[in-house]
Every structure is written in C-alpha cells, then in structure tokens.
Structure 1
Amino acid sequence: MLKVVFIGIGGGVGSILRFLVAEGVQKLTGGVFPWGILAVNLIGCFAIGLLGSLLTGPWLVDEKYQAFILVGLLGGLTTFSSYAFQTIDLARGDDFVIALCNFLMSNFLGFVAVWIGLRLAQEMY
C-alpha cells in the first residue's frame, strides 16, 4: 500500500512539472506546433531510459522509490493523451503537415531519447 502512496505523490509532482515545463516551453517557442508537450515527452523518455536502467541496476533502490520516480513522477510528467489529442486537433484543422511532423518527431525522437538514456546509463556503470 505504501508503494501506491509513493506513486500518487510522484504522479502529482510529475503533473505539476509537466504543466510548468510545457507552458514555459510553449511560451518561449510560440506558434501552433506543440513544442511544450514534445519537450516533456522527450525529457520523460530520456529520463526513463536513464533512470530505469540505473535505479534497477547499479543504483538499486527500494521498489517504492523506483515506483515513485518511474511510475509516478515520470508517468505524471509525460502525457501521451495530450500528445494524441493535440495531434488529432491539428490534423482536423488546417495544420495537417504540423500534425504529421508532431507525430513523426514525437515517436522517432521519443525512442531515440530512451535509447540515449539507456546508453548513457550503461556508460555510467
């Protein structure tokens, strides 16, 4: 039960971080393209690659702390549903090319970010 509490707290913190980072990036970049959501998803992908490897390997920590970071914090930070909604909303409007770019960049760069995080973690141990 304690693990569930840790996940809930991590999810709350991650959601607040998502809002702050996404809003901040979007204000900096402006425009129609959803740079803010792309940024939080790429940060989350990189972080789960790096921390998922380290926290279950050489930096082995208790399962409740793993759950706090990997499930709660990073689950709250990243947002597939917002990404999907924004992409479909763009495609339904006059921004099909932007929607397609968002789809391709989010998926390709998300996998690249996880891979880079995993590689970096491997280099660290």
Structure 2
Amino acid sequence: MISSTVPFDFDLTLFDTDGAEAPANQSTIAQMGLEQNTEHHSAYRAINLARWNAVHTGGLTPDDVHLLHVEQWAKCAGLDADPQRLADFFLVALGAHGELYPGALDVVKRPSEYSATT
C-alpha cells in the first residue's frame, strides 16, 4: 500500500532546536518578568536532555516532556512561575528563535524528490 503522507521529525531533523534553546530560554524568562541567571540555561539543558533520553528509552512520551521538564526546571532554578505558562512561552520562543536546517524547507515542499524508491 502506497501512502500519500510523509512523516517528518521536526526537532534536530528539520529545525535546529539546540541552537534556539539558549535565546528561547532568555526570552521566556524576560517575558515572564523573572530574574535572569547564567545557570538557568545549563539547568534547563541538563533536565531537557534527561527527559528526552527517557522518551527514547520508552519511559516517557513526547507529550509528557512538554510540561515535565519545565516543571523540574522551574523548581531547580527557583523560578516563581506557573510551569504551564512557562512551557507555553518557551515553546513559542523556541520557534521564534530557531531556524530550519539548510535544505529542510525544500525537502518538505517536495518530498517526492527525496523519497526512496522500493
């Protein structure tokens, strides 16, 4: 059966999530009116990496990560903010501060040119 749907993984496949994290982190903290701290991003990074590793080993789902890693980050960094609001701000900031990898847009626009033939 031939499918007309081509699934794509967004993070780190089409979109440079790693490059967007630090500016998104700073932007989120500023938008939330919280005090900036140089340790915020390194704490976030370690927590996020551990949570995504749990996804890859089957311990969590990607939906779990959206809020769980931010809840843990807020607690660890001493951020006095609603974790859901913080997670929502961060997700928007991630998109605003990130970029697609070179050629990613072409692949999405014309997937048939890049598909494997069987």
TM-score computed with the length of structure 1 as normaliser: 0.30
Name the larger-Rg structure.
Answer: 2
Higher normalized helix content (fraction of residues): 1
TM-score computed with the length of structure 2 as normaliser: 0.31
